[in-house]
Structure 1
Amino acid sequence: METITDKASSIVTEAQARQYREEGWFVLERVLPEDQLELLRGLAQTAMDRADAEMDAAAVDMLGLNHRGRRYFVSGLAEQEPSLRSFLFGDLMADICRATLGPDVFQFVEQFVIKAADKNSAFSWHQDSGFVHEDHEPYLTCWIALDDVTEENGSVYLLPYSRAGVRSYVKHFHDEATNDKVGYFGDDPGTPLVVPAGSIACFSSVVFHRSGPNLTQDLRRVYLAQYSSEVIRTKDGTQAWEGPEEFLRNGERV
């Protein structure tokens, strides 16, 4: 049985773990092995194809947060793809989860976020928790860059706790034009994450972030893997928000 990772051998340094506690985020550059990077890139195309098929069936060009040919938010692919499950529950993600969430972890949500060339493909300031509700412990988002990310192709911008002035859930408002939820209306532009493919930005679900439009001719592909320290339930507490799956118990993989 796998044992708890020794801090000295963790890919997450103590300084990074402290930054996560104090400011809500840190970045691991070029940590994804090439075979895993190519796996996720291939599945990103599968995700876009499935989203387009759903919009075809509904005879629309916008469905939920998906805008045909512009941006895609596709969840649930791991249910049909064993190779993706192997990544979600693999050694790398276990190491990151232990360093940020502790010994008891559930896999919460996984999602491909893809921007095509489109000057209108920006995404508004929000907390990931803003898409859930206020009654849960902050969870972990692992924002995995599948392409080199620049400000020109739609980098994510983070607002650390000390600059946002908050480190807890904030009520969000629905933007009817885009279906975005918006929770920050200040003038701080945030810190852009300019990172090479294979990097992982790790941030708390209560860290405000946004992303710019993709002004290049290439896709900007990201995979989000999210984990929690508890089973996050619906607002009324009657059922799980998503189908959480236990990942770590007392630091060991289940």
Structure 2
Amino acid sequence: MDSTDSGPSVQITPDMIDQYRTEGYFVLENVISPEDLELLRSGAEYSMQRLDAEMDAAGVERLGINARGKRYFSHLIYQHRPELRRFIFGPTMAAICRSVLGQDAYLFWEQYVIKAADPDTAFAWHQDSGYVHEDHDPYLTCWIALDDVTEENGSVYLLPYSRSGIRSYVKHIRSATGDEVCYFGSDRGMPVIVPAGSIVCFSSTVIHRSGPNLTDRLRRVYLLQYSAEVIMDKAGKEPWGSFERFLDGGRVSVSGQD
């Protein structure tokens, strides 16, 4: 159905958009309401329980890049928890997508990234585009902090365009742990330290990593990715990811949205 949202709940300035164009990112601090934060956290708990059950059923401690009690990458949870749709397709994300992508936007991917208290929870240098393929336009990643993020609990580290010298897809190499890796230099990156309820917005071509969680508490992140067009698979036959139209000519247009 076609609908209009209640207006942007977040202020995105021209300077932020200029920084996105020149450096590949901008940061919005404390922009998620307490109610929405609790909603997203409830989805995080469900995502961990779901992956633990899958590992139990398989009799393993690792599934792909997931490791029980260490790190969890659980995707498309909103398909099981439809209440998450009110945030995914809500006014905050609409405002961000309009500002970055323009009048048309699709949900490309949704994923929880959760690090438990374990030193083996670092994630290697990569571009989000490195997990797709080289034949697509860059898309938008919204890295949503569900807990206060510090260097001690696994902050994301960015290599802005001016530091990496790279603005487009580069070839990745798969590590022994299943991580895709594209940078082996000495720059440790720019740590992003933000409070819970903040959103780090960056291009899928920005090289980034995250450190281990060395605290005794979870570090939970909700990852939403949007594109300006449908990204197809390598063969050009099927959509890559889970596509739903979000913005159509600037208006929210989501099938089944309340």
Q: TM-score range by the shorter chain?
A: over 0.9
Partner residue, 1:204:
203
Measured in 1, the distance between the counterparts of 2:10 and 2:74 equals: 30
Which portions of structure 1, spanning 4 or more consecutive aligned residues, are displaced by more than 6 angstroms?
3-6
Partner residue, 1:142:
142
TM-score by length of 2: 0.95
Measured in 2, the distance between the counterparts of 1:35 and 1:3 equals: 18
TM-score by length of 1: 0.96
Question: What one-letter code is carried by the residue in structure 1 that aligns with 2:227?
Answer: S
Measured in 1, the distance between the counterparts of 2:43 and 2:116 equals: 16
Two-structure CA RMSD over aligned residues (Å)? 1.4
Partner residue, 1:129:
129
The unaligned stretches of length 5 or more in structure 1 are none
Partner residue, 1:2:
4
Measured in 2, the distance between the counterparts of 1:171 and 1:109 equals: 21
Query: Structure 1 residue 243: deviation in Å?
Result: 2.3
Partner residue, 1:195:
194
Partner residue, 1:184:
183
Measured in 1, the distance between the counterparts of 2:242 and 2:110 equals: 11
How many residues are paired up? 251
Partner residue, 2:108:
108
Closer, same or farther in 2 for the Cα pair 1:37/1:112, shift >3 Å?
A: same
Instruction: Assess if the C-alpha contact under 8 Å between 2:107 and 2:243 holds in 1.
Output: yes
Partner residue, 2:161:
161
Identity of aligned residues (%): 61
Question: What one-letter code is carried by the residue in structure 2 that aligns with 1:236?
Answer: A
Q: 2:216 aligned with 1:214, yes or no?
A: no
Measured in 1, the distance between the counterparts of 2:212 and 2:10 equals: 34
The unaligned stretches of length 5 or more in structure 2 are 254-258
Partner residue, 1:241:
240
Measured in 2, the distance between the counterparts of 1:187 and 1:250 equals: 43
Measured in 2, the distance between the counterparts of 1:53 and 1:175 equals: 26
Measured in 2, the distance between the counterparts of 1:3 and 1:200 equals: 19
For each residue in 1:200-238, what CA deviation from the matched residue of structure 2 results, as whole angstroms up to 9, or x when unmatched?
A: 000000000000000000000000010001101110101
Instruction: Assess if the C-alpha contact under 8 Å between 1:146 and 1:220 holds in 2.
Output: yes
Instruction: Assess if the C-alpha contact under 8 Å between 1:168 and 1:206 holds in 2.
Output: yes
Closer, same or farther in 2 for the Cα pair 1:143/1:163, shift >3 Å?
A: same
Measured in 1, the distance between the counterparts of 2:77 and 2:229 equals: 22
Instruction: Assess if the C-alpha contact under 8 Å between 1:4 and 1:252 holds in 2.
Output: no
Partner residue, 1:49:
49
